[in-house]
Every structure is written in C-alpha cells, then in structure tokens.
Amino acid sequence: MANHPLTGARITQDADSPLFGSMLARTINELSPLIPGRFPTPSDRDAAYSAWTQAGGTLVDGMECWTGSGATLMKWARMGGAWLPAGGIWQSWTPTLTSSITMNFGTGAVVNARFEQALKSVTFQMSIKFGSSPAPGTGKTTVTLPPAMTATNANQQQLLTCLLYVPTVQAPFAGAATINSGSNLIFPSFAKSAADASLGGFQNADSSGNAGTGVPNIVDGYPTVQNSLLEIAGRIEVN
C-alpha cells in the first residue's frame, strides 16, 4: 500500500492488485483538481503539489485549496500559474510613512492596518493615531501597502479615500489618496487650506519646518500633532 502524494489516500500497489491500484490512482488524479485540498501551511501545500505533479498530476488555473486553521485559515486559488489568496481572514501589517524622513509615529502611537486579498483584489483600511513628539518630516507623505504588494500595471492611478483629524481643528479634513501604476506607495492628499480647495500632498510643514505651512494648512500649527488621526481605506487591484 502507498499514500497518494496529494490527498494522502491509500492506494493499492501494482504488485497487490495491478488493475485496481492503477485505476484508483488515475481516479484520484483526475478528481484532485476539482476537490479543494487542506494543508497546515503554504509550504506544506507547495510540497504536496510538487510531489503530485511529479507523480503525473497537472496544476491548472481554477484549482482551490485551504491552509491553516482557526485564526490562520486562508483560502487560495490557482490563477496565472500561481497560488493567490482568495479570501479568508483579515491580516494585519504595519505601514511605513515617509516624507523627508521615515516617520516616527510618536510615543504611545496606535497603528491599526488590516487587509484582505481575494485574487487580484485587495481591500484594506488603516488608522494611525499619532503619539507624543511625532517626527513626520517636511516633505510630501507616502504610506506603504502591505508587504510584497504593488498596484496593477493596468491602470495609471487608483483612487482611495482618506480622512485627517487634528485635535486643534473642530472638523476633520476629507481627502483623497492615489496609488501609481506598479507602485507600493499611497499618496494621501488634502485641500491646501480653507481658502484653496485644490488638493496637495499631505505634509507637516515646508522644507524649513515652519508651523502653518503644511498641507492641509493649519494656522500656527501642524497637521500632525499628538492624537492626530490619519485614516486611509479602499479597494485596489494588485499585480
């Protein structure tokens, strides 16, 4: 007796029963692309399918499988010759903010960033509450997507929504964010000032670091101070 390399099913060896063993192996091979596999980890999945293809199986687009269990349960689908996440759990990541420097969120900052990927579609939301003494730099701010993700090359830009709350201002600032083709960087933008509704890249101050010179412009102040809240959310297509 031997185990099928993909399903683990027990198969009679040819020496035991030549006809039955070969028919059973053929049947399992033909059914395997139609039945979602279950594996502890993606590495286990890859090893099992590698052994299966070496035994005569063929990977085709549209196959599905699951890895993990409980909080780590993830569905995968075969597309374009690769296994892509096809839904399951929301995952966390820590975005990096960069302007003239890699930003320091400040002491006591709270960062919540989560995403779910379904094939080439990624839905995400992030909330960054700055702590005390943040160091956001002076240039236009960029925010990173989850690791190893880049926006699709099919579109020049993709549009997201963003919101900025500054404790010294009564109303939150609504803005827009964009991601360029092939990039992993989000560019949040807000109205430049109460008198100028045109959008400018989110920045804390000009190159000299002067208060009241950022985007959005806050008279005598900075857009990023303790308890400022930056939120970005949306759905994008990735490569």
Instruction: Read off the pLDDT of residues 56-86 as tens digits, 9 standing for 90 and up.
Output: 888 999 999 999 988 788 999 999 999 999 9
The conformation of residue 168, written as its DSSP 8-state character, comes to: T
What is the number of H-type helices and E-type strands within the chain?
A: 2, 16
**Does residue 80 form part of some domain?**
no
Q: What is the pTM of this model?
A: 0.80
Residues 59 and 95 in one domain: no
**Does residue 182 form part of some domain?**
yes
The set of residues, in sequence order, having a beta carbon less than 8 Å from that of 37 and lying 6+ positions away, is: 6, 7, 45, 48, 49, 65, 66
Residues 106 and 196 in one domain: yes
Domain residue limits at 205: 91-237
The total domain count for the chain is: 2
Residues 117 and 17 in one domain: no
Residues 109 and 161 in one domain: yes
In the chain, what percentage of residues exceed pLDDT 70?
A: 87
Cα separation, 4 vs 46, in Å, equals 15
Environment class of residue 60 by beta-carbon count within 10 Å: exposed (0-12), middle (13-18) or buried (19+)?
Answer: exposed
